[in-house]
Amino acid sequence: MEVIRNARVMQQTVKEYLQRGSSIGFVPTMGALHGGHMSLVQRCREENDVSVVSIFVNPIQFGPSEDFSSYPRNTEDDAAKLQEAGVDILFMPGVEDMYPEGFATFVEVERLSDRLCGRFRPGHFRGVATVVTKLLNIVRPSRAYFGQKDYQQALIIKQVVRDLNIETETVVCPTVREADGLAMSSRNLYLSPRERKAAAVIYRTLCRARDMVLGAECSLSDVKNLMEEALSAEPLVDEVEYASAFDPETLEDICSRDVTIYRKGRVLLAAAVRIGRARLIDNELVDMTAQEEAA
Ligand code: AMP
């Protein structure tokens, strides 16, 4: 595995692969790699001639009171995992390389960035959209791989790719979970053993909400109430930032809408909670069209 720490070298290397007609697959990450990341890496390897993984903890997507400086960094372990998985190139640019003095251009996706996590993390998605645009311009992949766990992020990146005519296919991969259902996340490392156990409430609640949506008579506001109550009932949950049903394309909260409209469509159930030092998110996409077809 080749390790590249400089954007210009990465661009030159990519150019050589592209001239040879190789397809490039790309997995952008912030490191502290776990099974979720590695599922993206595996899919990337299967579908492309050359696989590139980046590790870059992007300062501009963290708010001033967020965990940028304490974000877990395990570069040696990460490199060993990627090498073992057969990745061709590990790209680890420095902050000064990505944001040299005088850097002044940002990518802002309207509307989608203000909803769900955007309400609680102002500027977060501007930072994400900017860094991913830069990375896609540097790596120029045929396909880039993202996790459904960060549903809003994947949706925003798809919008960027469409709006800015970037020639990359964005592939969204299923959420990988621990045995008790907790979505794998680098931030799970912040949890104490008791908190880690309590965190299973998130996915348990999403599953109950999903069953409720799929079941007979209920309104989406009942679903929202169930989610908020079930999450708040866990004593180690310090705050429920949001827990509701959303339109999976616009990310609007749809709980006050007529439920019959959504009986025929798709509903995104999503939640963000704080447990101790960790802010954890998860979601479940409920597809009523699949159910109708099966019936
Ligand atoms: P991060 O390092 O947290 O920025 O994540 C890098 C990529 O891995 C993003 O596209 C995430 O959505 C994806 N990812 C993170 N956790 C999971 C998971 N549990 N399952 C699948 N993909 C994930």
Domain containing residue 234: CATH number: 3.30.1300.10
- Same-domain check for residues 21 and 159: yes
Identify whether 151 is part of a domain: yes
Domain that holds residue 162: 2-173
- Same-domain check for residues 156 and 33: yes
Q: Ligand 1: does its nearest atom lie under 6 Å from the Cβ of 152?
A: no
Identify whether 153 is part of a domain: yes
Give me the pLDDT at residue 63, please.
97
Catalytic residue check, 37? yes
- Same-domain check for residues 114 and 217: no
Count of domains forming the chain: 2
- Same-domain check for residues 58 and 158: yes
Give me the pLDDT at residue 261, please.
67
Q: Ligand 1: does its nearest atom lie under 6 Å from the Cβ of 184?
A: yes
- Same-domain check for residues 21 and 140: yes
User: Alpha helices, DSSP H only, in 85-167?
Assistant: 95-98, 117-120, 124-139, 151-163
Go through the chain and tell me how many residues it has.
Answer: 295
- Same-domain check for residues 141 and 164: yes
Decide which of 119, 147, 173 is a domain's last residue. 173
Asked if residue 81 lies in contact with residue 42, where contact means CB atoms within 8 angstroms, the answer is: no
Q: How far apart are CA 204 and CA 208, in angstroms?
A: 6
**Burial of 35: CB neighbours in 10 Å, binned 0-12, 13-18, 19+:** exposed
Q: How many other CB atoms sit within 10 Å of the CB of residue 105?
A: 7
**DSSP assignment letter at 53:** E
Pick from 146, 153, 97, 101: nearest CA to 270: 153
Give me the pLDDT at residue 2, please.
98
- Same-domain check for residues 227 and 134: no
Residue carrying the six token digits 């599953």: 207
Residue to mutate (ligand 1; options 41, 75, 149, 187; most atoms within 8 A of CB): 149
The two tokens of residue 173 are 């991969």
Instruction: Specify the 3-state DSSP secondary structure of 287.
Output: strand
Q: Ligand 1: does its nearest atom lie under 6 Å from the Cβ of 156?
A: no
Q: Whose CA is nearest to atom 12 of ligand 1?
A: 147
Give me the pLDDT at residue 263, please.
66
Residue to mutate (ligand 1; options 30, 131, 150, 203; most atoms within 8 A of CB): 150
Cα four-point dihedral sign 210, 216, 222, 225 = negative
- Same-domain check for residues 22 and 120: yes
Pick from 59, 236, 66: nearest CA to 131: 59
- Same-domain check for residues 158 and 39: yes
Ligand 1 atom with the shortest distance to the CA of 185? 16
Residue carrying the six token digits 């309590």: 198
**Within 13 Å and on the Cβ side, how many CA atoms surround 223?**
33
- Same-domain check for residues 132 and 220: no
Q: How far apart are CA 73 and CA 31, in angstroms?
A: 7
- Same-domain check for residues 100 and 153: yes
- Same-domain check for residues 83 and 204: no
The two tokens of residue 162 are 């469409």
Asked if residue 278 lies in contact with residue 190, where contact means CB atoms within 8 angstroms, the answer is: yes
Q: In order along the chain (295 residues), what is the average pLDDT of each group of 10 residues?
A: 98 98 98 98 98 98 97 97 98 98 98 98 98 99 98 98 98 98 98 98 98 84 96 98 96 83 83 98 90 58
Give me the pLDDT at residue 265, please.
85
Q: Ligand 1: does its nearest atom lie under 6 Å from the Cβ of 53?
A: no
Q: Ligand 1: does its nearest atom lie under 6 Å from the Cβ of 185?
A: yes
Q: Ligand 1: does its nearest atom lie under 6 Å from the Cβ of 149?
A: yes
Helix (H) or strand (E) holding 62: none
Give me the pLDDT at residue 256, please.
82
Identify whether 33 is part of a domain: yes
Helix (H) or strand (E) holding 236: none
Give me the pLDDT at residue 285, please.
97
Residue 292, C-beta contacts closer than 8 angstroms, at least 6 positions apart: 264
Residue tagged active-site, from 7, 10, 36, 37: 37
Q: What is the DSSP string of 243-263?
A: EEEE-TTT--B-TTS-HHHHT
Measured CA angle at 55 (ends 51, 58), to 5 deg? 135
The two tokens of residue 267 are 């509903």
- Report the predicted TM-score, pTM, of the whole model to 2 decimal places: 0.97
Identify whether 181 is part of a domain: no
